[in-house]
């Protein structure tokens, strides 16, 4: 394993552990549980960690309650988070009290209130709201580089220097554009294109079709990292599940690009790791 890949060993292991506990929750005697709530454009994810911040349970559900990083179905979002919360509580045999959330970078004045209200209305004591790429870096642990969170509606970029965020940006390009291209290329309804895109068995054929959109994302990354000494890029977000996306971005940026085993779960895990017992 190369030195650069060793950097992400912690991230890949935590994601692997989380994937396991989603199917097989760890029922123990933790004194407290912390929950990360990720309201994604295509998928809502809840990640639960114990008092030692180890993954113990989780759940996810594809939904259409957020668009371009903004909550558009407030009641629907509350109901989904509440249902998933109760589902996990039944499995763990305890109440989930503390929750944290994240929003696309630069949207705090636009939508942080809605996200806060969703989490609180679902029954959590909200302890933290941070931007998505910064949350992801709680798991990635990048000291110098860029975290690129490609979600359903937007691409968020955080540049880190000495472990601190020095720049954030958010652009309206993501998985929605992928689905639109698939819908047009294969003459199928948008909803069907969404499902078709998620199937890894279709990715080999889809990659050439989606390459122009991936290259656009790469150009957005290049635009925002210009002037910064970015040595590595780490991709997170559900849209990055597209097989081969990292190869195209690395080629267009000329920068080493890493993608975790399952990039969809990095941000919600980072949110959970940011959760405390202090309400905001």
Contact 53, 23 (CB under 8 A): no
Per-residue pLDDT at 273 exceeds 60: yes
> What pLDDT sits at residue 67?
66
> What pLDDT sits at residue 111?
52
Contact 71, 114 (CB under 8 A): yes
Placement of tokens 């549980």 in the chain: 33
> What pLDDT sits at residue 2?
43
> What pLDDT sits at residue 1?
39
Question: pLDDT, tens digit, for every residue of 125-179?
Answer: 999 998 888 898 899 998 899 999 898 878 889 999 998 889 988 888 888 899 9
190 or 40, which is more confident: 190
- Alpha-carbon distance 75 to 121, whole Å? 9
Question: pLDDT, tens digit, for every residue of 92-127?
Answer: 999 999 999 988 776 655 555 788 889 999 999 999
Per-residue pLDDT at 15 exceeds 90: yes
> What pLDDT sits at residue 91?
95
User: What does pLDDT average to over the chain?
Assistant: 89
> What pLDDT sits at residue 87?
96
222 or 261, which is more confident: 222
Question: pLDDT, tens digit, for every residue of 198-234?
Answer: 999 999 999 999 999 999 999 999 999 999 989 999 9
pTM confidence score: 0.89
Ordered by where they begin, the domains of the chain are 3-136+265-273 (3.30.420.40), 142-258 (3.30.420.40)
> What pLDDT sits at residue 75?
85
Per-residue pLDDT at 3 exceeds 50: no
> What pLDDT sits at residue 107?
62
Distances (CA, A) of 8 to 19, 52, 218, 238, 253: 17, 20, 21, 18, 20
> What pLDDT sits at residue 133?
82
Contact 48, 272 (CB under 8 A): yes
Per-residue pLDDT at 261 exceeds 90: no
């Amino acid at each position: 394993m190369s030195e650069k890949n060793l950097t992400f060993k912690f991230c890949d292991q935590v994601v692997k552990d989380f994937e396991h506990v989603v199917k097989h929750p760890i029922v123990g005697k933790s004194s407290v549980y912390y929950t990360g709530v990720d309201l994604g454009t295509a998928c809502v994810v809840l990640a639960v960690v114990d008092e030692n911040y180890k993954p113990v349970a989780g759940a996810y559900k594809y939904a259409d309650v957020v668009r371009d990083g903004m909550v558009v179905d407030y009641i629907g979002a509350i109901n989904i988070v509440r249902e998933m919360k109760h589902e996990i509580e039944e499995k763990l045999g305890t109440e989930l009290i503390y929750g944290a959330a994240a929003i696309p970078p630069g949207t705090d004045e636009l939508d942080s209130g809605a996200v806060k209200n969703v989490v609180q209305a679902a029954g959590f004591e909200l302890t933290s709201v941070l931007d998505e790429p910064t949350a992801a870096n709680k798991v990635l642990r990048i000291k110098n580089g860029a975290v690129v969170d490609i979600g359903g509606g937007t691409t968020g970029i955080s540049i880190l220097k000495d472990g601190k965020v020095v720049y954030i940006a958010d652009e309206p390009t993501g998985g929605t554009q992928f689905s639109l291209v698939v819908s047009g290329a294969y003459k199928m309804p948008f909803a069907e294109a969404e499902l078709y895109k998620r199937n890894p068995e279709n990715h080999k054929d889809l990659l050439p079709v989606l390459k122009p959109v991936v290259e656009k994302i790469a150009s957005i990354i290049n635009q925002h990292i210009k002037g910064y000494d970015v040595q590595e890029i780490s991709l997170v977000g559900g849209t990055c599940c597209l097989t081969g996306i990292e190869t195209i971005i690395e080629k267009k940026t000329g920068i080493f690009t890493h993608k975790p085993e399952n990039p969809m779960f990095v941000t919600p895990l980072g949110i959970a790791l940011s959760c405390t017992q202090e309400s905001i």
